[in-house]
Amino acid sequence: MKILTVLTYYRPHTSGLTIYAERLARAFVQHGHQVTVMTTQYEPSLPREEMMDGVRVIRIPVAARISKGVLAPTFGLMATKLVWQHDVVQLHLPQFDAPGVALRARLFGKPTVLTYHCDVQLPPGMFNRLVNRILDFQNNIAGWLSNHIVTYTQDYADHSPYLSRFSTKLTPILPPVELPIPTSQAVSAFAEAHRTHERKPVIGMAARLAAEKGVEVLLDALPLILKKYPNAQVLFAGTYQNVMGEQSYSDRLMPRIREYEIQGHWTFLGNLDPEQMAAFYSNLDVLTVPSLNSTEAFGLVQIEAMMNGVPSVPSALPGVRRPVQMHGMGLVSQIGNSASLAESILGVLANANTYRGDLNAIKESYDPHAIAREYENLFQRLMNR
């Protein structure tokens, strides 16, 4: 099968969406399929075309940036060529260019599956409201033109204004999650570098420093946590500098974070590779995902943590609450409520043995090969119609 995957950002860009797409593309290749990823050349230094883990990656030059998106004038031209050459098209939304690709697939008789990762809620402002409306329109057209839509959970679908419009062609499929098994040496080296045996408990957060991630909720919860555990520390893995569209948010939070850094209660780790992430999780006592709105649909990092035996404390957002509810590894806190977040984190820390799940069952449920087979079955059904 020749599979064309289309999305705005791909590796080396790091986000839950790009990680999902990369894992799935690799699994398709390992199953013997020919996979092409069509994306944008968001950094001029990136090659226009390359092979990554057996996946052919084609990047379209970017002429301008709009908010967190890009304009690539030649995207449609390349899409026409690639859609014609492939058997099935997988679109990852949100994506501005999705309607044009889906229309080409309709015209050429190629089945289109749209993987919907999250609703978009840009920061307040007249310009961002306009961008939101345009993107909503584009996503609606793409949804209408696509043959089928995949989302992570029914819980998220039930609460998404977008997905509720397309309930008749919707299938929930869990996201692909995998991490290497950390070596004891890597775990020990990480512990030594970040004093995780001295400064306990260790609270992890893995995200971009972005407004929707709720970093300020964790900041507000820290004083309550420190009353109980004066040596507690937060390890923050992910991009925290020059995050697209988040400079004002960063400027507002950084003075408070720097105070905690000086006191040894907060450490920025930056982006970590998979081996480093495995060592990171193995040094945590609890992970938190205090996200604030529906731009977070699941929180893949929760499953990564659980695979390493680490419980999670997410906010009660639809979809985001599901990993804890399904696997019993943690507690759910109220959205945007720092007192509730602190209480839930303290509750997990006080009853750690209560929140031990079936790690093998969790790994099997999110195995990229199992997820790829669900997509393959869906592709085949659509191709047979």
In total, how many domains does the chain have? 2
Residue 141 is classified by DSSP as H
Share above pLDDT 90 across residues of the chain, in percent, rounded to a whole number: 77
Output the average pLDDT for the chain.
Answer: 92
What is the pLDDT at residue 27? 98
Note whether 306 and 194 are same-domain residues: yes
DSSP 3-state assignment of 286?
Answer: strand
Is the pLDDT at 67 greater than 80? The verdict is: no
What is the pLDDT at residue 118? 86
When pLDDT is averaged across residues 367-381 and rounded to a whole number, the result is 97
Note whether 353 and 372 are same-domain residues: no
46 confidence band (pLDDT: 50, 70, 90):
very high
Note whether 251 and 117 are same-domain residues: no
39 within 8 A of 7, measured Cβ to Cβ: yes
Note whether 150 and 8 are same-domain residues: yes
Note whether 340 and 250 are same-domain residues: yes
- Among 49, 46, 162, which Cα is nearest to 95's? 162
Q: Which amino acid is at 289?
A: V
Q: Is the peptide bond before 255 cis (omega within 30 degrees of 0)?
A: no
Task: Name the pTM for this structure.
Answer: 0.87
Q: pLDDT digits over 122-153, tens only? A: 666 776 677 677 777 888 899 999 999 999 99
When pLDDT is averaged across residues 235-255 and rounded to a whole number, the result is 88
Share above pLDDT 70 across residues of the chain, in percent, rounded to a whole number: 97
4 within 8 A of 38, measured Cβ to Cβ: yes
Note whether 99 and 140 are same-domain residues: yes
Note whether 26 and 128 are same-domain residues: yes
Note whether 63 and 110 are same-domain residues: yes
- Please compute Rg for the chain using Cα positions: 21
Cα separation, 187 vs 267, whole angstroms: 17
What is the pLDDT at residue 227? 97
- Residue of 61 and 124 predicted with greater confidence: 61
DSSP 3-state assignment of 15?
Answer: coil
Note whether 237 and 317 are same-domain residues: yes
What is the pLDDT at residue 121? 67
Q: pLDDT digits over 310-353, tens only? A: 999 999 999 999 999 999 999 999 999 999 999 999 999 999 89
Residues pairing with 114 in the sheet: 91, 149
Residues pairing with 34 in the sheet: 2
Note whether 158 and 221 are same-domain residues: no
Note whether 16 and 104 are same-domain residues: yes
What is the pLDDT at residue 122? 63
When pLDDT is averaged across residues 220-248 and rounded to a whole number, the result is 92
Residue 82 domain boundaries: 2-176+367-384
Note whether 14 and 52 are same-domain residues: yes
The alpha helices in the chain, defined as continuous H runs, are 16-30, 75-85, 98-108, 126-145, 154-159, 184-194, 215-228, 247-262, 274-282, 300-307, 322-327, 338-350, 359-365, 368-384
CATH code of 270's domain:
3.40.50.2000
Q: pLDDT digits over 93-123, tens only? A: 988 899 999 999 999 999 999 999 987 766 6
Is the pLDDT at 187 greater than 90? The verdict is: yes
232 within 8 A of 199, measured Cβ to Cβ: yes
